[in-house]
Amino acid sequence: MRIGWPRRVFSQVLLTQLVIAAGVTALATGLFLAPLSTQLDDQAMRRALAIAQTTAARPGLADAVGTTRPTPHGPVQSEAERIRRSTGAEYVVIMDDHGVRWSHPSPDRIGRHVSTDPSRALAGHEVMQIDNGTLGRSARGKVPLRNGEGGIVGAVSVGIAYESVRDRLLAVVPGLLVYAGGALAVAALASYVVSRRLQRRTHDLAFSDISALLAEREAMLHGIREGVVALDARGRIRLLNDEAQRLLGLDARDTGRPLDEALGPGRTTDVLAGRVTGEDLLTVSANRVLVANRMPTDDGGAVATLRDRTELERLGRELDGTHGLIDALRAQDHEHANRLHTLLGLLELGLHDEAVEFVTEAVGVHRATAEQVAEQVRDPLLAALLVGKATVAAERGASLRISRRTSLPDRVVDPRGLVTVLGNLVDNALDATAGTPRPEVEVELRAEGRTAILRVGDRGPGVPPEHRELIFTEGWSTKEPPTHGGRGIGLALVRRLAERQGGSATVADREGGGAEFTVVLPEALATALDRPGPDEAGLTATGTGETR
């Protein structure tokens, strides 16, 4: 049966590391053993040469070769055997200058010519070699034998049995294998520890499963319609999906940059960085209303999700406006019913002149308001917005007054943006005047060159100095949130739209009490040549604004 490759990461990594460790151990052992035999041979030859040099230096040995005959019981044989036994050499052969042995471990070979060429030693050279002689393979050292005058009278040849070299080599191998086995055991233990740690970190998944999960994660992150931003422990962006790039105005090149550097200072950065805590936090990025949630990770970083709530906020404001319109229509229904009853009574009483005067007065009030707005505000969207807000204010028992200094030409570059700014400011002012003795809102729209200046004042309680910056912060409000979502968006959008055009949005005390909001929009008015066409205009619904 064929044994297949294991699927689990733990098994694959452990097996791979064991194979690598065993291979490295075997390679290291082989590299150590390969030169060991040569080293032992060299040591044996040098030992043999040293014994030969010591023997040749023995006093009287050279004279004995010249004055005696080669016999098994002669002084040369006796001295050579003594040296052989004391050094453990295989043989110590002393020869004359003709290559005739004067000593040998086998006495019957004394007096015979040596079996190997002695010419180099007799010529005065020292020789080390591995050679085959009459006693077999041996490590050999040869030196010349000199008399007192320095003349060469023979040579000394010493041999170390090659079997002793091999025995030393074999004696070293077990110890080396013990060390190699110990190293392999340590490597196996380290491999097991690493594999177990990797198993815990990968949840014992197979490499194919990890690859599939990575592919699925990439597809999911870039396919969902919710922004995902991952941060590391140092606050750097390590992941941005496509939706997050769209919502935050970033791109893939911002990955790896610090969040504060990529987004700049602001509430959005504070929310994503965790400096503002809570669930479903509202923030504004460009002209988008976002809902952010942040979840810390085990490594000290965090993953933040972003949902685009711009359309939901717009629909919520439309719903608020619809509710207000319904309430206004109900009030108007009662008012018109009362007027019709009054008119019917006047007619039944025959007071025809009084009836005509009553109808003329009732119609004239609304007509005068519309004509005043149309005369001072030439842009149809802004004029329509103010007429509608005036009706809503009247039904709420408040007065919406257009300042005499109002004069805005029909040359607005971004009417939608102005509608959003003005609508939020008026709604905010109407909310602030509710319940006051003199509920009044004054609107002023003025042009200075190409700059549009909007002022909306009210007779409400005013804005304390310590809150004049907080009211422009996303999510800050003193009102209970409505059923469709959170508050604290209106004035934040106003300031964001103003700053996007290089302008400003501020609040101050109004003379006589209340608050006055001022929005300056540079380059908001176009010249005659770049005046927007009718198809570019559209009405942006307004509704719930900031409260104080």
Task: Answer yes or no: do 15 and 106 share one domain.
Answer: yes
**Which of 451, 458, 456, 457 shows the shortest CA–CA distance to 408?**
451
H or E stretch including 227? strand 227-231
Position 280 in a domain: yes
Query: How does strand 227-231 pair with strand 302-308?
Result: antiparallel
Task: Answer yes or no: do 516 and 420 share one domain.
Answer: yes
Task: Answer yes or no: do 454 and 380 share one domain.
Answer: yes
Amino acid in position 297: T
CB 118 within 8 Å of CB 99: yes
User: What is the residue-wise DSSP string for 282-298?
Assistant: EEEETTEEEEEEEEE-T
Which of 122, 146, 168 terminates a domain? The answer is: 168
Neighbouring-strand partners of residue 178: none
Query: How does strand 515-521 pair with strand 91-96?
Result: unpaired
- Specify the pTM: 0.42
CB 489 within 8 Å of CB 503: no
Amino acid in position 262: A
Task: Answer yes or no: do 32 and 137 share one domain.
Answer: yes
CA gap 310, 48 in Å, rounded: 98
Task: Answer yes or no: do 376 and 283 share one domain.
Answer: no
- Which CATH number belongs to the domain containing residue 277 in this structure? 3.30.450.20
Task: Answer yes or no: do 417 and 506 share one domain.
Answer: yes
Which of 288, 307, 326 terminates a domain? The answer is: 307
Position 545 in a domain: no
Domain count, the chain: 3
Q: Check residue 33 and give its pLDDT.
A: 65
Q: Rounded to whole angstroms, what are the CA distances from 193 to 8, 186, 187, 196, 210? A: 16, 11, 10, 5, 21
Task: Answer yes or no: do 108 and 16 share one domain.
Answer: yes
* 174: three-class secondary structure by DSSP: helix
- CA-only gyration radius of the chain, Å: 54
E strands, 148-204, are: 152-161
Task: Answer yes or no: do 281 and 382 share one domain.
Answer: no
Task: Answer yes or no: do 274 and 389 share one domain.
Answer: no
Task: Answer yes or no: do 257 and 382 share one domain.
Answer: no
| Cβ partners under 8 Å of residue 315, min gap 6 | 484
Q: Kindly give the interhelix angle for 9-56 and 207-223, rounded to the nearest 10 degrees.
A: 130
Which of 307, 327, 342 terminates a domain? The answer is: 307
Task: Answer yes or no: do 407 and 482 share one domain.
Answer: yes
Amino acid in position 420: T
CA gap 263, 269 in Å, rounded: 6
Position 338 in a domain: no
Position 207 in a domain: no
Q: Check residue 454 and give its pLDDT.
A: 92
CB 539 within 8 Å of CB 518: no
Q: What is the pLDDT along the chain (548 residues), one digit of tens a residue?
A: 445 555 566 676 777 777 887 888 777 777 776 676 677 778 888 989 999 999 998 888 888 887 888 888 888 999 999 998 998 888 899 999 888 999 998 888 998 998 888 889 999 999 998 876 666 667 889 999 998 888 899 999 998 876 655 566 666 667 777 777 787 788 788 877 877 777 777 666 666 666 666 676 666 666 677 888 999 988 899 888 888 888 888 888 888 899 988 888 887 888 888 888 888 787 777 667 788 899 998 888 999 988 887 666 556 555 655 665 565 566 556 666 777 888 788 788 888 887 777 777 665 555 556 677 777 888 887 887 887 788 778 777 788 888 888 888 867 777 777 888 888 898 888 888 888 888 889 999 988 888 889 999 998 888 888 888 888 876 555 554 443 344 456 788 888 778 777 788 999 988 888 899 999 988 788 764 444 444 333 333 333 333 33
Q: What tokens appear for 28 in the block? A: 């290291």
| Cβ partners under 8 Å of residue 23, min gap 6 | none
Q: Check residue 328 and give its pLDDT.
A: 54
Position 470 in a domain: yes
Task: Quote the domain boundaries for residue 113.
Answer: 9-168
Return the number of other C-beta atoms located less than 10 Å from residue 439's C-beta: 20
CB 127 within 8 Å of CB 144: no
Q: Check residue 540 and give its pLDDT.
A: 34
CA gap 2, 5 in Å, rounded: 10
CB 500 within 8 Å of CB 286: yes
Task: Answer yes or no: do 508 and 400 share one domain.
Answer: yes
Q: What tokens appear for 360 in the block? A: 């003329």
Neighbouring-strand partners of residue 519: 454, 505
Position 461 in a domain: yes
Position 44 in a domain: yes
H or E stretch including 239? strand 237-240
Position 48 in a domain: yes
Q: Tell me, rounded to whole angstroms, the distance of Cα 430 from its chain centroid.
A: 48
- Which CATH number belongs to the domain containing residue 526 in this structure? 3.30.565.10
CB 153 within 8 Å of CB 62: yes
In the chain, the N- to C-terminal Cα span, in Å, equals 81
